[in-house]
Structure 1
Amino acid sequence: MSKLKIAIQKNGRLSEKSLELLKECGIKLSNGERKLKTTSSNFPVEILFLRDDDIPQYVEQGVADVGILGENEVWEKNKKVNLLKKLGFANCRLSIAIPKEENYTGLTFFNQKKVATSYPNILQNYFTQNQIEAEIETIGGSVEIAPGIGLADGIFDIVSTGSTLQMNGLKEVELVTKSEAVMISNTALNDEKKAILEQLLFRIESVKNASENKYILLNAPNSSIQSIASILPGMKSPTVLPLQKQDWSSIHSVVKEDEFWDVIDQLKTLGAEGILIINIEKMIA
């Protein structure tokens, strides 16, 4: 039977989160020592550990069938691949930064200036769209030190917390775009590999739905059931079970993580008591 070859970053936070996602999908990986590749003992996949900036090319060429990587690398390499799914982790922004002491006057500041980056294509597209004529210095790493050693007037790089910029005497002045982990695939998968990929995407969606929702149980007077049901529609409708206490019921439903606190306040106003919130491991719509 064919195995779906999945390329992920060989180390770092994105690699850890990618492996965690596969684990949450019930995929067991047989090689505990991370080398160049490992296989699953219970699902037809093989994991390839690669440099993140090589993944788009290897997926395009069919060396890997699927890749999990930052969306920024997909934009930068601009290879012929299918963008399958945004995964909701490894969120960051790509921004331009300059030395703290510089007086920033807007994008025209960069006319006739030099900017160092590992993402020259993304930056050039941005400057072109905004009619900025700047020189782009492409470097492979340690972008933050470029202004300090006189290599460039500013940098364009990934920013998560901004602490690295501060440590190097830089300030963020332009947010160019935001990025997160995505899944890409080769454009010519055979039917067998497409079937495996569909199974994997189904599992990922179930895990993603679970992470974005909470299971909620509460007790409420029967007079409030209709109002509560309008707040907590659940997947179809809430489950309502009668309590021994007369004119009261237990209501079970699902609530969105980002709506949780607003919903709780509304439920309390409607007389809800004994509210319990439980994490959902998997959620299949």
Structure 2
Amino acid sequence: MKCLKIAVQKSGRLHDDSLQILKEAGIHIDNGKDQLKAHASNFPLEVLYLRNGDIPQYLEDGVVDIAIIGENLLVEQERALPIAERLGFSKCRLSVAVEKSFPYKEIKDLNGKKIATSYPNSVQHFLDKKGINADIHIISGSVEIAPNIGLADAIVDIVSSGNTLFKNNLIEVEEVLTSEAVLVVSPHITEEKDQILNELQFRLRAVLMARNSRYVLLNIPNEKLENIRQILPGMNSPTVMPLMKAGWSSIHSVIPKESFWEIINELKTHGAEGILVCPIEKMVL
């Protein structure tokens, strides 16, 4: 069987997370030091470590079959490549930032200003949409320093935690777009390799569902069961088991990670006791 060729970032913030999700999907990659190509030992997958900005072209040319890249790169390069999966990591946003002393009140304050960025296409589309006429200065790196040295009045750059902006006396004032890691497919993928991709997606979805869910066990008086059932529908329905203590039951279910604390508080309000929460390794529906 032929190998599915996947491109991942050679270095940078996406590299480690890309390899981690493949590892959690049960794929063991034999990667020696400084290798630019590696094979999985237990899955028909070949990994190519490439420069991030080059990956979309490799996909369009059919050199690689799939890739894990940031969605913002597709937008910036204006590539119409199909996204097979949203992977939920490396979440960030492309934002406008100005110095704290800049008297910014609304987007119109950028009219006639100089904006430094490494994402000129995304910025231009944003400005056009807002009806703003500004002068874009393209900078490859260290965009944050531009206002401080008088090169620009504002910057547009990738923001995750915001720490870099804070350290450079900048504040975020507008969001241009949001981004996360995505699995992208080449338009030239063969039917045989598409079957391998289907198996890979099956594994990735099991990992992603587990990452986004928590397994919860709790004890509840029987007269409260219906109330709890409404809070905890689970995948299909919660598992209910009688306890030795008369009039009590144990409920097992799955809750979404994003609303975890809200659900836990609601469970406590309805009389839940002995709440135990566990991570889920894999989740297959």
Bucket of the pairwise TM-score, normalised by the shorter protein: over 0.9
Per the alignment, do residues 260 and 147 of structure 1 end up closer, same or farther by CA in structure 2, a change over 3 Å counting?
closer
Please report how far the alpha carbon of residue 261 of structure 1 lies from its aligned counterpart in structure 2 after TM superposition. Answer: 2.3
Partner of 1:175: 175
Distance 1:93 1:262 in 2: 26
User: What SS is found at the alignment partner of 1:129?
Assistant: helix
Q: Is the 8 A contact 1:86 1:183 kept in 2?
A: yes
Shift of 1:82: 0.8
Report if aligned partners of 1:70, 1:182 keep a CA contact under 8 Å in 2. yes
Correspondence 1:15 to 2:15: yes
Q: Separation in 2 of the partners of 1:169 and 1:265?
A: 39
Normalising by structure 1, we get a TM-score of 0.94
1: CA distance, partners of 2:151 / 2:5: 40
Given the alignment of the two structures, is residue 235 of structure 1 paired with residue 268 of structure 2, yes or no?
Answer: no
8 Å contact kept, 1:90–1:181: yes
Is the counterpart of residue 163 in structure 1 residue 163 in structure 2?
yes
Offset at 1:114? 2.0
- Contact 1:53–1:73, Cα closer than 8 Å, also in 2: yes
Partner residue of 1:76? 76
Q: Structure 2: which amino acid aligns with 1:231?
A: I
Task: Tell whether the 8 Å contact from 1:60 to 1:80 is kept in structure 2 after alignment.
Answer: no
Separation in structure 1 between the aligned mates of residue 84 and residue 240 of structure 2, nearest angstrom: 38
Rounded Cα–Cα distance in structure 1 between residues aligned with 2:41 and 2:62: 23
Alignment of 1:114-125 (within 5 A): 114-125=114-125
Equivalent residue number for residue 210 of structure 2: 210
Give the counterpart letter for 1:75 in structure 2.
V
- Structure 1 outlier segments of 4+, above 4 Å: none
Return closer, same or farther for 1:246/1:139 CA change in 2, 3 Å cut-off: same
Report the identity percentage: 52
Shift of 1:131: 1.7
Instruction: Measure how far apart 1:32 and its partner are.
Output: 4.3
Q: What aligned pairs does 1:1-285 form with structure 2 within 5 A after superposition?
A: 1-285=1-285
- Stretch of structure 1 that moved more, 100-109 or 35-44: 100-109
Counterpart contact for 2:21–2:204, Cα < 8 Å: yes
- C-alpha deviation, 1:152, in angstroms: 2.3
Counterpart CA distance in 1 for 2:249 and 2:164 is 54
RMSD: 1.7
Match of 2:29, SS? coil
| 1:246 partner letter | A
Which deviates further from its counterpart, 194-203 or 267-276?
267-276
Amino acid at match of 2:75: W
Segment of structure 1 superposing worse, 46-55 or 106-115: 106-115
Shift of the 247–109 alpha-carbon distance from structure 1 to 2, 3 Å rule, reads: closer
Distance of 2:145 and 2:259 partners within structure 1: 42
1:145 Cα deviation (Å)?
1.9
Structure 2 letter corresponding to 1:21? I
After TM superposition, give the deviation of residue 36 of structure 1 in Å.
0.9
**Offset from partner CA, 1:58-80 (integer Å, 9 cap, x none):** 11111111111111101011123
| Distance in 2 separating the partners of 1:158 and 1:271 | 45
* Mapped partners of 1:68, 1:138: distance in 2: 25
Q: 1:278 to 1:32 in 2, by over 3 A?
A: farther
Q: CA 1:221–1:162 in 2, change beyond 3 Å: closer, same or farther?
A: closer
Q: Where does structure 2 lack aligned partners over 5 or more consecutive residues? A: none
165-174 or 194-203, which moves further after superposition? 165-174
Q: Which amino acid is 1:247 matched to?
A: G
**Aligned counterparts of 1:266 and 1:142: Cα–Cα separation in 2:** 46
**Is the contact made by 1:215 and 1:254 (CA closer than 8 Å) also made in structure 2?**
yes
Structure 1: segments with no counterpart, 5+ residues: none
SS of aligned partner of 1:205: helix
SS at match of 1:26: coil
Residue 267 of structure 1 aligns to which amino acid in structure 2?
L
Whether the 8 Å contact between 1:80 and 1:187 is mirrored in structure 2 is no
